[in-house]
Structure 1
Amino acid sequence: MSEAPNPNIIDADTLTGEMRPIRRVVVGLGSNLGERLDNLQGAVDALADTPDVWITGISPVYESEPVGCPPDSPKFLNAVVLMDTTLSAHRLLDRALAIEDAYDRDRSHGVNSPRTLDVDLIVVGDRRSDTEALKLPHPLAHERSFVLRPWLDLEPDAEIPDQGPISVLLEKVGTDGLDRRDDLVLESDE
């Protein structure tokens, strides 16, 4: 297991000399189609294989009722991954979309349709973005127990910028329809 980089140091890009800070990133994973656990593990593996990304934590797996999905949609498996990276938020978004595409994510039926894989950027350091392509922090994370509960397992004192402590946010939304699945485990080779 490699040691995570010190978040207080700055990394210089060896080609351009550009200084890029190391940022803490929170990624939410979800799957409710196909081999759900394999899909989540594939996402963890792909994130771990991304240059300039260091996985520092993987939450327990939770099973959740679909939110805003069509009736009779299958339950989701969800997890949260903590990472340190020097990549920009837009490069991380490109990588997340590429990972989803590798798992045949179908976006033709809308945002809340069933999916093989969802890889969401929840927080990228203290970065804020409100563009069509990228919204940070994730605009619905503070309302989603399937993001807050797994994240709380990893970082009990974490906060969503402009929203507050995740423990307080989780108390507000509750955990109805969310079950921890200790029989399912995600791992990283890092």
Structure 2
Amino acid sequence: MTVDRGTAAFISLGSNIGDKRGYCQKGIDGLRAAHRTTITALSRFYRTEPVDYKDQDWFVNGVVRIDTELDPYALLDLLHTIEQAAGRERKGVRFGPRTLDMDIILYGNWVVNTPTLSIPHPRMHKRRFVLQPLCDIDPTVVHPVFLKNAQYLLEHLDDEGQKMFPCEESETVLF
């Protein structure tokens, strides 16, 4: 597998346990410290109502754009390592509470469907908490399967009841 030098990727971050802001900051710090990966943009962060499994605290969510020389599988391994360092345990209720959740939303214009990795993220087009921060960074980025840009997907989102509010400055993470 060959990767273009500096492939642009979009990573979602979220937390709904304990110091949510601090855990998101750990995710950003982990990306910043990674070799062959550079953060190029950071969205605003939002407080978001849980989706799917509702019986849990609200999340803090945002999106980071990076340039990376890592292939998507190595990038996924990096994200899992960062999550684990932040105390993430992959057990319990699916879509349940977590200290830190990091997902590859887009990786260049790649489309990957394997048992361990799906790019673009298979639910990104249904999630306001992904699309709004993605649009904060780049509303023109195109979903490589639907061939629609992020702004179009956000404007045509059917998500009645999916609540989210911008975090106040004191609640946002540092870039």
TM more than 0.5: yes
> What is the CA deviation profile of residues 135-170 of structure 1, one whole-angstrom value per residue up to 9, with x for unaligned ones?
001000111000100110111212221121111111
What letter corresponds to residue 61 of structure 1 in structure 2? F
Report if the CA contact (8 A) 1:29-1:117 is conserved.
Answer: yes
Within the alignment, does 1:185 sit opposite 2:168 as a pair? no
SS at match of 2:96: coil
Residue equivalent to 2:82: 99
What letter corresponds to residue 127 of structure 2 in structure 1? R
Which aligned pairs between 1:90-129 and structure 2 lie closer than 5 A? 90-129=73-112
- Unpaired segments ≥5 residues, structure 2: none
What letter corresponds to residue 38 of structure 2 in structure 1? W
Report if the CA contact (8 A) 1:56-1:83 is conserved.
Answer: yes
Percent same amino acid among aligned pairs? Answer: 32
Which aligned pairs between 1:8-157 and structure 2 lie closer than 5 A? 20-71=4-55, 73-157=56-140
Give how far 1:22 is off.
2.0
SS at match of 1:21: coil
What letter corresponds to residue 114 of structure 1 in structure 2? P
> What is the CA deviation profile of residues 4-36 of structure 1, one whole-angstrom value per residue up to 9, with x for unaligned ones?
xxxxxxxxxxxxxx8743210000000000100
In structure 1, distance between residues paired with 2:168 and 2:41: 16
Give how far 1:70 is off.
4.5
Aligned-CA RMSD value: 1.6
Give how far 1:111 is off.
2.7
Report if the CA contact (8 A) 2:111-2:145 is conserved.
Answer: no
In structure 2, distance between residues paired with 1:161 and 1:141: 12
Asked which structure has the greater CA Rg, the reply is 1
- CA shift in 2, pair 1:109/1:66, >3 Å: same
In structure 2, distance between residues paired with 1:171 and 1:80: 18
Give how far 1:120 is off.
0.3
Aligned length: 170
Residue equivalent to 1:6: none
TM-score normalized with structure 2 length? 0.91
